[in-house]
Every structure is written in C-alpha cells, then in structure tokens.
Amino acid sequence: MVEEAQLLGILKEYFGYDSFRPLQKKIVDAVFAGKDNLVIMPTGGGKSICYQLPAVLLPGVTLVVSPLIALMKDQVDGLTANGIPAAFLNSTQTETEQQEIFSKLQTNELKLLYVAPESLQYIDAVFSSGNISLIAVDEAHCISSWGHDFRPAYTQLGYLKNRFPSTPMIALTATADKATRKDICEQLNIPYAKKHIASFDRKNLSLEVRPGTKKFGQILSFLNQRPNESGIIYCLSRKNTEDLAVKLQNAGFNAAAYHAGIAHNERTSIQENFINDKTEIICATIAFGMGIDKSNVRWVIHYNLPKNLEGYYQEIGRAGRDGLPSSTLLFHSYADVVQLQKFAGNSGNAEVQLAKLDRMKQYSEALSCRRKILLSYFGELISEDCGNCDVCMNPPEFFDGTVIAQKALSTIYRLKGQEPVSVVIDVLRGSQNAVILEKGYQHVKTYGIANDISWRDWQQYIIQLINLGYVEIAFHDQNKLQLTAIAKNVLFENEKVRLADVNLAEVQKEVVEKE
C-alpha cells in the first residue's frame, strides 16, 4: 500500500487536483494491492486517474487497451504535457516509429503505453522489451455482445490475463448492466475482480413521463415555461427531427435539426452553435450528443420512446451536467412501442432487444418512483423514493401489498430463479397446464397460494416488484425471474411493500387514453 500523502502529492503534481473523487482512492489502493478490478463509473466520473496515477508510481509500464485510435494521440499528448512519459502503438505507425517505442520500453522510459485491441499482436514484443506493471482495459463493455457497443477485436483480450497472470488488470466502463459486468469479467479472465461501482444517481434531473398525445402542444407549453433555456428533443426518425425543427422555428423558437444524414461540415457547425448558445433547441436523432460537452443543457425531451433504458439514461444524462436542476420529459405512446418491436424483432439479438424494450415500456407505465426503477436497472438499490419524479409528486393509490409480495418472492425463490414470469404466475395461481405438471411444480409449497388474484393483476404486481428492485429479469438467460439482494428484507424481515392499486391505475389510464 502506498501512503496517502504520497498519492495526494502525485495527484497534485502530475494532475493538478487537490483531492480524490469518491471511489478513486479505493480503486488506486486496490491496484497497488495487486488486485484485478472492474470500475463502473459514469462518463466524466474520473476513470482515467484510476490507472494513470498508479502508472506514475509503478516500476514498469502500464498497458492501456483503448478502442479509439483517434483519441489516443490526444491522451498521450495530455499526459506528456503533464510530465508523464507516454506513447501509443497502432497500425498507423511506421516500423521505425514502433522500433523507437520498443527501445524506450527496454530502457524503461515509458509509464503508459496505449494500444488498440487490434494491435495485440505486438504485446509479446512489448513484454520482452519491458516490464508490464498494470493492464488497463478502457471501454471494457466493448468485449460483450450484450453491451451496446460490441467490438469483435475486444474478445481476444482474454489472452492478456493468461499471458500475464500475475499482472493486475483494471477494466473500466461507463455503461454495463449486471449481466454485462459478469460477462466482461469472465471474458477478461478476471472472474474475481473487485467491483467498484460509482453511483449513477443524478438527483438534479427531474423525471417525467406523459402520454404521447398532442405532443406539439405539450412541447410548446413546456418551452414557454422555460424561456431561453437550451435543450434537446430526441426523435426516432430523421424526418421527425426536421419537421419538428421547422414547426418550432415557425412558432418563433431558435431550433435546428441534427441527424447522421446531414453533411459532416454542417453537423459540426450545428453542434458548435448549440455549445456556444447560438442555437437553443436541437431536434435530433440519437446520433447527437456523443462527445458533446455542454454543461448547461437545461432539459431533454424524448419525442419518441427510446429502445432501452441504457440509451434513455445516457440521453437524459446530457442535461444538467453542471449539477443545476434540469428537466426531462418522455412521451410514451403505443405506436412507438409497436414500431420499436418491429426493429427489435429484426435485429441480430432479437430476444434480448425485445426484453429490454419491454423494460422500457414498463418504466413508462410505472406506478413506482421512476428513479428507483432506473437505478435498480443498473444494479443500484435505493431505499427512499426520490421525490423528484412525476410518480413521487403525484403518487397513485397505494395499499399494503406485503403479503402479495411475500407470496410472489417466495415462489420465485422456490423455483430457484429458473422460470420466467408466466410460469411464476401459473404456480401462484395453481394452474394445471402441461409445463407445470411436467416439471412437478404442483408440489411447490406456494402452488395455488394466490388463485384469488387474476392473471393480469399478478402481471402488474410482479412488474411493480421488478420496478421496486426486489426482482430482476435475466435478459440473457430466457428472461428468468430472480430475486435481488433486498428481497430477503421482505421475505425474512417483514419489510413492508406498498403496491399501487392496479384497477384504480387502469381507470386513470383509460381516462388518459380517451383524451
């Protein structure tokens, strides 16, 4: 372990910071203790320090696998400017340039070496010419086909741990749900990696979902309440973005459209105008936002339903980076669901995509705190409702659903987390269908324990239990229902569960749909 004072000294001297951000110190300590680590931290959270600071102090070189060749040069320039000797290796270099790096490695002149995953073939040359102290895998979610940005070259990285078993590894990413995290560690051969998961909670973002009827009128009144504030409206299609921008311009707003079909130069200038506050409103497809650093985006509207909660959370996360209160509004419509189902059904990974879309739909229809749902989706279980979402501000009628919850959770427990929602409900209701009888589930202790509740109501209650964080869906394993760590509070410690009255909520929904 390295003394705290020495770490703080390096932090100040080489990086110019006075203190560590939450988690950074723990991660750095774990690296010095020689452990393998998985770091999940939102973009801008400060992941780089977690391997760059150890790199300065460790005796050999830190190898950094990074997918973006274009960004390597910037990173290396930044480090060099701070007095940290660094270099990168990739296919754009000449042999002479590469030889120069190898000889620097031999004389131990480099602290960090960035390599693209495609350049792994050089690794043995790197190793034989120097001493690797630490291996960092940036954007580690790229290794998993369950993540959202799969890069085939990443799948070869499992080799690194086999080749250098005693060199500590640190994998870093900003987005990975629970199953993807597990997949990352398995593929990198670091199944026992210490997991450091930063909070994804963005308390300053208010969350609101409204039915997608008369959307333009709703947008106008939303904007009129927020004069001169900048924001983004995400649409599903390019045509939508253009139509909406024109309508807003005609209504006197300073709006522009942005999508991947617009010429590169023009796109750059649209972005710059937005960043410099010359354009107030951008109507965009999801192509907009990556790498855009604008701290005072005050609101984000989703004109259409996003494909999944990962995308949704990333997009609303572009609001309020300065920490000031910011609003998000999502329009939910059945037409969008149908269209997205078609897309998902035709995609390579249809089963997972459809399950994720289903989760998105459940979020939009939810009767429990929306932040709780979002955070539990990313594996973060909060006990208090947030008070800053539309459900919290305008709660449905709740009743004491503890017994209902106990019945469902104990059934899921007895089915050993091996069955999807339909089988769980069939067991609860004592159904005699073939699957149940074949598997002998009529002998499960909770079989038929709740046949007084209709199938549809059960479905609603279980969705609520998922939204409350007690149950999760194994998307990557036939959508089996499984208990989370907090389920035991309900099963064994008599924690009370408030459920929303399904039938009352139905009535409210019908009223809304008729409008």
Q: State the residues that interact with Zn ion by CB under 5 A.
A: 369, 371, 385-386, 389, 392
Contact 357/308 with Cβ under 8 angstroms? yes
340 contact choice in ligand ADP, Zn ion, none (CB below 5 to 8 Å, kind-dependent): none
Element (H, E) at 267: helix 264-275
- Residue number, 130 or 289, with CB nearest to ligand ADP: 289
What does the H/E/C string look like for 362-425? HHHCCCCCHHHHHHHHCCCCCCCCCCCEHHHHCCCCEEECHHHHHHHHHHHHHCCCCCCHHHHH
Site membership for ligand ADP, residue 79 (CB under 6 A): no
CA distance 475 to 470: 16
Nearer to Zn ion, 127 or 398 (CB): 398
Q: Using the rule CB under 6 A, is 48 a contact of ligand ADP?
A: yes
Residue (271 or 388) nearer to Zn ion, CB: 388
278 binds, among ligand ADP, Zn ion, none (CB under 5 to 8 A by kind): none
Supply the minimum distance, in Å, between the C-beta of residue 193 and Zn ion.
32
User: Distance between CA atoms of 451 and 425, rounded to whole angstroms?
Assistant: 9
Neighbour tally for 69: CB within 10 Å: 16
* Strand pairing class (37-40; 255-258): unpaired
> Strand, coil or helix: what is 296?
coil
Min separation Cβ 144 and ligand ADP, Å? 19
Q: How far apart are CA 77 and CA 83, in angstroms?
A: 10
Q: Which is nearer to ligand ADP, 24 or 180 (CB)?
A: 24
C-alpha 235/C-alpha 216 separation (Å) is 13
CA distance 320 to 42: 14
Q: Give the DSSP H/E element, type plus range, for residue 141.
A: none
Exposure string for 27-38, b = 16+ CB within 10 A, e = fewer: bbebbbeebbbb
Piece in contact with ligand ADP (CB under 6 A), picked from 14-22, 118-126, 296-304, 506-514 = 14-22
47 is an interface residue for ligand ADP by CB under 6 A: yes
With b for 16 or more beta-carbon neighbours within 10 A and e for fewer, the 139-169 pattern comes to bbbbbbbbbbeebeebeebeebbeebeebbb
What six digits make up the tokens of 420? Answer: 């999807």
Question: Is 76 a binder of ligand ADP (CB under 6 A)?
Answer: no
CB of 499 to ligand ADP, least distance (A): 38
One DSSP character per residue, 79-95 reads HHHTT--EEEE-TTS-H
CA distance 137 to 154: 9
Per-residue binding string, ligand ADP, 145-164, x by CB under 6 A, is --------------------
Residue closest to 478 by CA, chosen among 296, 352, 312, 344: 352
CB of 183 to ligand ADP, least distance (A): 21
In this complex, which beta carbon is closest to ligand ADP, that of residue 93 or of residue 199? Answer: 199
Distance CA 198, CA 467 (A): 21
Single-letter amino acid code for the residue at 53: L
CA separation for the pair 431, 428 (Å, rounded) = 8
Among ligand ADP, Zn ion, none, partner that 325 touches (CB below 5 to 8 angstroms by kind): none
Residue 162 CB, nearest approach to ligand ADP (Å): 27
Binding mask 16-45 for ligand ADP (x = CB under 6 A): -x--xx--x----------------x-xxx
Of 21 and 203, CB closest to Zn ion: 203
Counting beta carbons within 10 angstroms of the beta carbon of residue 340, is it exposed (0 to 12), middle (13 to 18) or buried (19 or more)?
buried
Between residues 123 and 392, which has the closer beta carbon with respect to Zn ion?
392
Q: Tell me how far, at minimum, the Cβ of 310 lies from ligand ADP, in Å.
A: 16
- Least distance from Zn ion to the Cβ atom of residue 389, Å: 3
DSSP letter assigned to residue 11: I
**Minimal distance in Å, beta carbon 273 to ligand ADP?**
23
Q: Which residue's CB is nearer to ligand ADP, number 38 or number 389?
A: 38
Binds 389, which of ligand ADP, Zn ion, none (CB < 5 to 8 A, cut-off by type)?
Zn ion
From the list 46, 67, 320, 379, which residue makes contact with ligand ADP (rule: CB under 6 A)? 46
Min CB(107)–ligand ADP separation in Å:
29
The nearer residue to ligand ADP, 292 or 504, going by C-beta atoms, is 292
Q: Please tell me what DSSP assigns to residue 165.
A: T
Binding partner of 189, given ligand ADP, Zn ion, none, CB within 5-8 angstroms per partner class? none
Q: In sequence order, which ranges of 317-369 are alpha helices (DSSP H)? A: 334-345, 350-364
Tell the smallest beta-carbon distance from residue 268 to ligand ADP (Å): 22
Q: Which is nearer to ligand ADP, 43 or 249 (CB)?
A: 43
In terms of CB distance, is 154 or 303 closer to ligand ADP? 154
Query: Which listed option, ligand ADP, Zn ion, none, makes contact with residue 369 (CB within 5 to 8 Å by class)?
Result: Zn ion
392 makes contact, choosing from ligand ADP, Zn ion, none, with CB < 5 to 8 Å by partner type, with: Zn ion
Residue 48 contacts which entry, Zn ion, ligand ADP, none (Cβ below 5-8 A, type-dependent): ligand ADP
Q: Are strands 205-211 and 231-234 parallel, antiparallel or unpaired?
A: unpaired
Looking at this protein, which amino acid is placed at residue 386?
Answer: C
Q: Which positions lie near ligand ADP, rule CB under 6 A? A: 17, 20-21, 24, 41, 43-49
